Structure formats: structure tokens, C-alpha cells
Amino acid sequence: MHPCSKADSRQALRRDTFAPARLAADRAACAPGLRGWLLRWLLRWLTAALLALVAWTAQGQTPRLDAQGVLHVERAQQIASPAPAFPADGTLRAVNLPATWKGGSEGGPGPVWYRIEFDAPPRPPGAAVDGLAADPTLALLMERACGRLVVVLNDVRLQVDGPEVDPSGAVCFQPRLLPLPGAVLRAQANRLDIRIAGLPLSQTTARQRAAGLWPVQIGPYTVLASRHEDQRLWQVTAVQVMALTLLLLGAFVTAMGWHDRRDGSFVFFGLLALGWGLVTLRTASFGNWRLGPESQWLFTSLIAPVAGVAAVFLLRSARWRDRRVDALLLAQCVLMPVSLLLVPREATFGTALFWYTLLGLELMAAGALLGRQVRHQTPEDFGWTGSMLAIGGLLVMVVMATQYGWLPLHTEQVAHLAMSALLLFAAFHLVRTFASALRSAEAARLTMELRVAEATAQIERNFAQLAELRVEQVTEKERKRIAADLHDDLGAKLLTIVHTSESERIANLAREALEEMRLSVRGLTGKPVQVADALADWRAETVARLGQAGIDADWRGPADEVQQRLPARTYVQTTRILREAVSNIIKHSGATHCKVRCGIGADEFVLLIQDNGRGISTEMSGKLDRGQGMYSMKNRAKQMHGQCLVESGPGFGTVIRLTLPLRESSPAAPSTS
């Protein structure tokens, strides 16, 4: 039978008693696209939640042992007493866990004692349960215990949270794991007394913050430690991660909406995400972060602005605006905190519950208005919007039912996580919608500017090519002119001085200046130099200079014939660096032997110069980079995008390692030295 056939559905309804539930599911399946999927998921979620609630209500309240040897205790004896130990007299009340302390009607205004009597779960030696080795150490796991704790096992105190200076500031949302010492634990008839000092329900702003005890588990420490981590993941870590994500995403959406204020709904949704992130962050305290009554009042008062912003967001999305409604929403943001301050402490919860109900009704009314508006104006979007509004309204009703005590407190945590997930999902959808609209506008603008941009780019490319060609031509011409002037004028004069000078010292200086001028001319011409020719020139000059100074030279180059070429600038700078290094060896090192090694890689040239001189003393090591020679060597290497490293020590000689690229590179700045 096809689920969309109305005739078959009516026949099934007449034949089967349970056909109405299936008929609702079939109608949801007939809904198109995402709407049908969300409605089917919502129906299944509601069915599963109702079945889980019925199972939780019907389960036995006697201690039960699970497959991992863990004893589950869901019933205890309760008495209100400020005594430091469990009171011997008084009327005990049998309560089902979780149990919250409502105040004077349960025996007094003081702290609450819970007594649990149990037999220690069996611990078979050497056995294994579900892959976990048997643990001889037992532990106590409390899913929640809202208040400052005193835990007593068989009249022996195991844990004391501290003095009851501010019971309202107790951590309520973190699971507790406590080892049970074997010396205190008995095989049978154990008495576990738990004293909780906190606020009664009437003095809190939410049911989950009232002093109370959740079901406890007693079993192997390793098993309970794993469960403790799982509970902490969902009760604390997951809430913290979602809250921080909402804060970041809310700030982003607010900034996005503020940048484009034509649609104010983005700003209000960003503020909603920020406010809800702060509210949920309060429920999952970081570590031992305890909040007192002032902070509790502050975070509870924050719910009114968050609900008001949510209502305004829904109304703005429905294109509906009324100044009187805006004024009322603004007024309740002030009236709620003021009323919580003025009412007696015993009426705090009742006042907060009134405001929760009013805010919830406001949100559902605004959501209904938005759904009606979307259904009439944009029916194609109603599936998505209606499903999101239905889920949000359901979560609001779940939270309200939990506060009224109609649903167990476990659903509060699930509802908070689901609401955070819903806001994250909606935020991503809004960002996606905004990005889609922005892309459409950008595409239209780019289409108009495309032809102009192409024409402009072509003109700019042609102009750049012409300008570059012109600069290259002028530069090359000027270089050749300068080189010719140096060679013809200055070179001729220096050569004349070399041949005509009667002073040997002046002739040598002129000869050195002539060599330096020829090197500069070669650099100006810009012609690359074969590496083999450069190595031959460097070797001849270096061996000759060291030989004249009485220093034995050991030069070794590449074994194979090299085909690479050095850029003209690299050749000139390397020649000057090598000359400076040889001059330092001759003048300052006092060496008798110098070793030079040359290496050629795929894209770099390495030159190593090492002597056996006295090295650089400790006093001079700090001035290594301040000397003119060393500084010029390193500066020249840096201009060629290479490096010059100097290593030296007293009595160990000096090593200079020069590494330069073989490819043409644009130097950082031209060198004139």
C-alpha cells in the first residue's frame, strides 16, 4: 500500500486499531523534500522519547546489577537536618532518585541527608566483564549532586566539599566519582550517607539548581571511571563546546548583520546566539567555578533579554513590527530581574516559573506568526521554516514541562543541547543564505565589469611590456657606456701607472685597482660566467696570493665537468668575498695551511674556506659581525639571497662557508662596494 493513497489509508484505519499512528507517519512521509524528512525525524524522536519516559517511569526502584557488575541505586531515605552526622532520630522519607529538596515541607530548612543501604557488588578475582579486567577497587559514581557534599560510608567520612559559606554556589552539573576504600566497605549491609547543603527548590530560579541527588552507581572503579568520562563529556564538555561555538558564531553573525543593516534580523539572531551561549555556559561550570546568588540572579535575568531578542528576530523575519510590542519586550527585560529581587526568597522559584511561562508563550506566539507568514507568502520555504519552528516550539515545551516537574530532569540537559544545536544549524543556514545573496550580487556586478576589466588588463599588459622593454634597453645601454668609459679611460690610466711608476708599491696598488675595475666592468656587462672558468680564475688568484704569503694552499673543486653558469653579479660578489677571506687569512690568522673546497648543486653554489690559524679570540668573538671585512662578506651574500657563515675558535682556526643560488635573483639592494 502506498503511504500517499488516501483510500488505502482510510481502509487501514477501519481495519487496524493502531492505524492512526501509522497514518500520521505516512502523511509525514508524503511531505516533499526536507520538510518530509524533518517531520518524519520529529515524529520518530517524539515516539522514542515517550517510550523512554514510560520505561523510566515503570522500571523497578530496587537496586539492580548490570552486566558489568555495577550496582544501580535509584531509591534512598531522605531527611532534612543540619546535624554533622546522619540523625539517629527523625522521620525518614523514601524517595526515588533523582530527588530535589523542596524546602520546609520535607522536614526542615537545613541541609538534606540521603541514606542508601546496599550490599557490595561481587568482585570475582581474575574475571573479566565486557573486555575489562576485574578491578578490586570499588567506586561511587554520582551523575549529579547539586550542593556541597559530605559523603559518609559506614560512619567513616570519605569526602567533604568544604564549609557551607555559600550553599547556593555549589556545582550542580558535574558528575562525581569517589573511590570506596576496601577497609571501610563491607560485603553486606553497607550504609552510604550523603549530606547535601544547598538551596531548596523554592529559593532557586530553576529546578535543576535545587539541592538534590541523582541516581548513584556502585561498582568497579575502572568501569565507573569510563562512565564518568562519558557523563562529563555530555553534561559538561559538549555544553561548553556548543556554548563557545555559539558565542563565536553569534559574534560573527552580529558583525555581519551590523555591516549590512538593511536586514535587522541578522543582528537580532547574532545577539540571540550570544545570549544563549552565555546562558548555556552557565549550566556547565568550568572546573570548580561556583556561582553565588548574585551570579545566579544575573544569569537568570539574562533569559528575559535572550527571549526578547528571539521574539524580535522571529517578528522581523515575518516582516512584522509594532513599537508597542517592542516596548513591552524591553520592559520585561527590566521587570523580570526587579521582581526576582523584590519577592521573598521562598517565592523565587514561583516567580521565575511565571516568567518562564510568559516568555515561552511569547516565543511560541512569535513562531506561529512567522510560520503563518511564510506559509502564505513563500510556500516553498514553509517546509524548512515550519520544521525548524516546530522543533524549537517542542523544545520550549519540554523545558517548561521539566520546570513544572512533569518530565524528569534528565530531559532538561537534552533540551538545552538540542536548542544549542538548533541555533547552530539556523546560524549556518543564515550565513549560507547571506553568502548566497552576496554571491548573486557580486556575480551581477562582476558581469558588468568583466569586459572593462579585460580591456583594462590588456592595455596594462601592453603598457607594462613596453615600459619593461624600454627600461631594459636604456639600462643595458647605460651599463655598456659606463663599462666602456671605465675600460677606456680609467683602465688606460691605471695601466699607464703600472708600467711607468718607479715605485713598486704604487705599481702594485695600481695593478690591484686595475683588476678591481675589470671585475666591476664584467659585472656591469651582465653576461653570465661559466662555473668552470670562474673556478679557474679564483683558484689561480687564491693560490698565487697564499703562495706569496708563504701559506700552503689546498684547492679542490668539483670532480666532474660542470655546465652551470653563474650570474654576472654572483661572480663579482663571490670574487670579492673570496678576496676578503684570503686577505684576512694572510693578515690576521697566522696560518700555515689553507683548505678551499667548492661544491656545485642543482641550484646552489657552496664555497668552503678553512685555515689552521689562531682563530678568533673570545674577546673578539663578540665583535665578529662589527668588523668591516666580515660585515661586507655577509652583506654581499645577503644581497645575493645567500648566506655567509663564519665559525671560529681560539686555536682551532676559522671556517667560512658561503652558499649562493645559481639562478638569477633580484638582490635586496645593489652594492657599490
Mean pLDDT, 10 residues at a time, the chain of 673 residues: 42 38 42 51 58 49 76 88 83 84 58 89 55 65 84 86 53 82 87 87 83 88 90 83 86 79 75 86 54 70 89 86 88 91 88 92 90 84 81 88 84 82 83 78 81 83 82 67 59 61 66 63 67 84 85 84 79 83 85 89 85 73 57 84 84 85 53 38
Angle, alpha carbons 287-396-75 (nearest 5°): 60
Determine the 3-state secondary structure of 396 from DSSP: helix
pLDDT of residue 359: 92
Question: Is the residue at 503 inside a domain?
Answer: no
pLDDT of residue 664: 55
Single residue among 405, 440, 475 that ends a domain in this structure: 440
| pTM of the model as a whole | 0.55
How far is 568 from 565, CA to CA, in rounded Å? 9
How far is 523 from 526, CA to CA, in rounded Å? 6
| Start-to-end Cα distance in the chain | 95
Pair 295, 149 in one domain: no
- CA neighbor of 88 nearest in space, from 193, 198, 215, 197: 193
Question: Is the residue at 249 inside a domain?
Answer: yes
Pair 220, 268 in one domain: no
Which residues is 116 bridged to in the sheet? 192
pLDDT of residue 213: 86
Pair 371, 270 in one domain: yes
Pair 563, 612 in one domain: yes
Pair 202, 262 in one domain: no
Pair 5, 102 in one domain: no
Question: Is the residue at 185 inside a domain?
Answer: yes
Pair 216, 258 in one domain: no
* Three-state DSSP string of 511-532: HHHHHHHHHHHHHHHCCCEEHH
Total length of the chain: 673
pLDDT of residue 484: 60
Residues 6+ apart with CB under 8 A from 303: 279, 336, 355, 356, 359
pLDDT of residue 192: 92
Which residues is 114 bridged to in the sheet? 78, 194
CATH of the domain at 610: 3.30.565.10
Pair 26, 89 in one domain: no
Q: Using the Cα atoms of residue 254, residue 257, residue 263 and residue 264 in order, give the sign of their dihedral.
A: positive
pLDDT of residue 361: 92
- Cβ distance 640 to 570 under 8 Å? yes
Backbone angles phi, psi at 600, to 5 degrees: -120, 120
Torsion of CA 410, 412, 415, 417, to 10 degrees: -80
Cis peptide upstream of residue 98 (ω within 30 degrees of 0) = yes
- CA neighbor of 557 nearest in space, from 503, 596, 500, 525: 596
Residue with cell 555559600: 166
Question: Is the residue at 45 inside a domain?
Answer: no
Helices (H), 318-409: 323-342, 348-377, 382-403
How far is 589 from 580, CA to CA, in rounded Å? 13
Count the domains in the chain.
Answer: 4
Single residue among 216, 231, 246 that ends a domain in this structure: 231
Question: Is the residue at 35 inside a domain?
Answer: no
CATH of the domain at 96: 2.60.120.260
* Three-state DSSP string of 439-450: HHHHHHHHHHHH
Domain range holding 23?
1-30
How far is 196 from 114, CA to CA, in rounded Å? 8
The separation between CA 53 and the C-alpha centre of its own chain, rounded to angstroms, equals 37
Question: Is the residue at 466 inside a domain?
Answer: no
pLDDT of residue 475: 66
- Percent over 90 (pLDDT), the chain: 6
Pair 201, 343 in one domain: no
Pair 100, 132 in one domain: yes
Question: Is the residue at 539 inside a domain?
Answer: yes
Pair 21, 132 in one domain: no
Pair 252, 198 in one domain: no
Q: What is the pLDDT of residues 394-439, one digit of tens each?
A: 888 988 888 888 888 777 778 888 888 888 888 887 777 777 777 8
How far is 206 from 197, CA to CA, in rounded Å? 17
Question: Is the residue at 452 inside a domain?
Answer: no
Integer-rounded Cα radius of gyration of the chain: 43
- CA neighbor of 213 nearest in space, from 166, 117, 149: 149
Single residue among 372, 407, 440 that ends a domain in this structure: 440
DSSP 398-412: HHHHHHTTSS-THHH
